[in-house]
Amino acid sequence: MRAARLSPTVAALIASAVCACALSSKAFAAKEKIVYAFSGADGAVPYSALLAGPGGNLFGTTFYGGANGLGTAFELVPRGNKFREQVLFSFPGGSSGGSGPAGGLAIGPSGSLWGTTEFGSGSAGAGIAFALYPAYPEYSLTTLLSFGAQSPYGSYSLATPVVIGGNLYATASQGGQYGDGTVFGPFGIHPFGSKTDDGITPMAGVVVDASGNVFGTTQSGGGQYANCTLGCGTVYMVTAAAKESVLYGFKGSPDGANPQAALIMDDHGALYGTTAYGGVYNNGTVFKLTRKKSAYTEKVLYSFQSGYDGTHPVAGLVMAGNLLFGTTQSGGLYDKGTVFELSLSGGKWSEIVLHNFQGGNDGATPLAGLLIQNGALFGTTSAGGQHGAGTVFEVKT
């Protein structure tokens, strides 16, 4: 749906964001078009953001569809004003491979594409981390690790991984030593739930700084149980020496609650993200964490309001200058979700809706963040499109 020492994936996003200086804040000038509509055999129901490749190519995953109906990895190749889609791999499920890739792809060594699946493979069928290598007629899959009840890595990863120097950083939403999920990387494996105020259930991937410190979110936990049954979620850090700390525990309305997306980091080390709930109207927020000496201070930049401005963002943000861009899974004029922009002026952030999804041939229910490429925003919707199986869209401002 976004650090100094970057994976090639993140580097590609930021490199493309350099072009985004041309993106403007014209509230009603945005134009959306569907660049590809999934039909089933070519993939269905994309949950994740896109990855920028060479020559303007786009890479991604679908949770369903493909030859086995269990998800795909795909590539979109630009041809003039259109894109041609190629299925790179259809996930087989069972013991031979994962199924249901909920996260996106990262570029690994030797032109490989790395990712995770929520289900399939292993004795528990709780997913894998994989690498796809170019081959004909489809890419070939190598299982990097298997998730499951007996695995220290946990179960059911929904994360888009980060790959740095051949090292994999990712999360699992459940399992691990305490049953509450894990985050892992070169530092080892950190299991969530070991202390009262710890986060639980990490739903997204991480961002890594120049020192190898890892930052992420958990959907629940954090010790704030008054407004949320299992806690309102956290922002956490795990150092390169494997020490974890909770940077912030959400409290619910009017603060945020239940972050489900990865964070982004600006040049000063500030962290930005979204919460699916909480805020003044309990429709979700955009927030910022700023480090002051040894502590972090949280500020809600925007609380989603009545629904017309979008509700319940579950995807992360992208940044270009003083602009933040994202999606909401619902709300907007047709309650099918939105693409939004936040702009900073005079120390205050204001929001405009760049596009209201309508359903039908237009997309609906975007669950993923955006990619900035060639001065435009690209993303996916999990529903809608000509065949009702989701879309890839472009928004120009």
85: which strand partners?
76
- H/E element, 289: strand 285-292
Asked if pLDDT for residue 4 goes beyond 70, the answer is no
Per residue in 290-332, pLDDT (tens digit) is 998 888 999 999 999 988 999 999 999 999 999 999 999 999 9
| Rounded distance between C-alpha atoms, residue 315 and residue 329, angstroms | 8
| Rounded distance between C-alpha atoms, residue 294 and residue 110, angstroms | 39
Asked if pLDDT for residue 337 goes beyond 80, the answer is yes
What local confidence, expressed as pLDDT, does residue 108 receive?
96
- Residue 24 CB neighbour total at 10 angstroms: 13
Nearest to 261 by CA among 328, 334, 340, 315: 315
What are the backbone dihedrals phi and psi of residue 58, each rounded to the nearest 5 degrees, phi first? Answer: -120, 135
The predicted model scores a pTM of 0.91
CA angle 113, 102, 72 (to 5 degrees): 55
Distance of CA 77 to the CA centre of its chain: 22
List the domains of the chain with CATH numbers. 8-396 (2.130.10.130)
383: which strand partners?
364
pLDDT confidence band for 2 (50 / 70 / 90): very low
Asked if pLDDT for residue 1 goes beyond 70, the answer is no
Average pLDDT, whole number, for the chain?
91
What would the DSSP string read from start to end of 33-71?
EEEEE--BTTBB---S--EE-GGG-EEEEESBBSTTSB-
What local confidence, expressed as pLDDT, does residue 7 receive?
33
What mean pLDDT is predicted for residues 75-94? 93
Asked if pLDDT for residue 104 goes beyond 80, the answer is yes
Q: Where does residue 39 fall: left (phi above 0), alpha (psi -120 to 50 degrees), or beta otherwise? A: alpha
User: How many percent of the chain have pLDDT more than 90?
Assistant: 83
Question: Is the CB of residue 357 less than 8 Å from the CB of residue 364?
Answer: yes
| Rounded distance between C-alpha atoms, residue 138 and residue 132, angstroms | 9
Asked if pLDDT for residue 124 goes beyond 80, the answer is no
What local confidence, expressed as pLDDT, does residue 357 receive?
98
Asked if pLDDT for residue 13 goes beyond 70, the answer is no
| Rounded distance between C-alpha atoms, residue 275 and residue 303, angstroms | 10
What local confidence, expressed as pLDDT, does residue 201 receive?
98
